[in-house]
């Protein structure tokens, strides 16, 4: 048998075995990287505790380290929770969820063009610019950049 895999065998490897293989490699790397870090941190913290037992000023070294450790544990717990919720399986899904929610909210919100097209000097009861029967102007070109920006935003275009 040659060193090459058939397409069917490669497909099976890429689906189930690849995920398990990546999980094992990640776990091994985590142990290899985090074990020395944990050892170094624990040794230094033990030195701080030993110093605090003999010197009153050593407590000032322990308290900040303890506070930072508690804060870091909160982040670790949040990461573990996210991992168990499956948030690292499909990292593109939150983007699509956000875009769907944005589209839903845009559809539910009232049309903002009616409110934004009123003149600022005419007061709150001024008619919209587009309504010739209400006494407003019927200009087709915007006269200043603010109106042009509102037209672009209302049409969903961006500069």
Domain ranges for the chain: 8-90, 110-155
More confident residue, 112 or 85: 85
pLDDT digits (tens, 9 = 90+) for 2-54: 556 565 555 555 667 888 888 899 899 999 999 999 999 999 888 888 888 88
pLDDT of residue 58: 77
Average pLDDT for the chain: 74
Q: Please state, in angstroms and rounded to a whole number, the distance separating the CA atoms of residues 154 and 49.
A: 63
Q: Please state, in angstroms and rounded to a whole number, the distance separating the CA atoms of residues 152 and 108.
A: 20
Q: Please state, in angstroms and rounded to a whole number, the distance separating the CA atoms of residues 117 and 144.
A: 12
Helix (H) or strand (E) holding 20: helix 18-54
Q: Please state, in angstroms and rounded to a whole number, the distance separating the CA atoms of residues 159 and 143.
A: 17
pLDDT digits (tens, 9 = 90+) for 69-86: 899 999 999 999 988 988
pLDDT of residue 89: 83
């Amino acid at each position: 048998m040659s060193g090459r895999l058939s397409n069917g065998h490669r497909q099976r490897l890429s689906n189930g075995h690849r995920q398990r293989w990546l999980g094992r490699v990640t776990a091994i790397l985590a142990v290899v990287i985090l074990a020395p870090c944990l050892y170094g941190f624990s040794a230094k913290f033990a030195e701080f505790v030993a110093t605090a037992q003999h010197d009153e000023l050593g407590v000032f070294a322990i308290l900040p380290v303890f506070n930072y450790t508690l804060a870091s544990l909160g982040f670790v717990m949040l990461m573990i929770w996210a991992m168990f919720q499956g948030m690292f399986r499909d990292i593109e899904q939150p983007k699509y969820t956000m875009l769907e929610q944005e589209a839903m909210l845009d559809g539910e919100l009232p049309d903002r063009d009616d409110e934004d097209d009123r003149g600022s000097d005419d007061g709150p009861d001024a008619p919209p610019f587009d309504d010739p029967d209400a006494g407003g102007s019927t200009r087709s070109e915007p006269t200043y950049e603010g109106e042009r920006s509102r037209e672009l935003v209302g049409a969903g275009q961006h500069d």
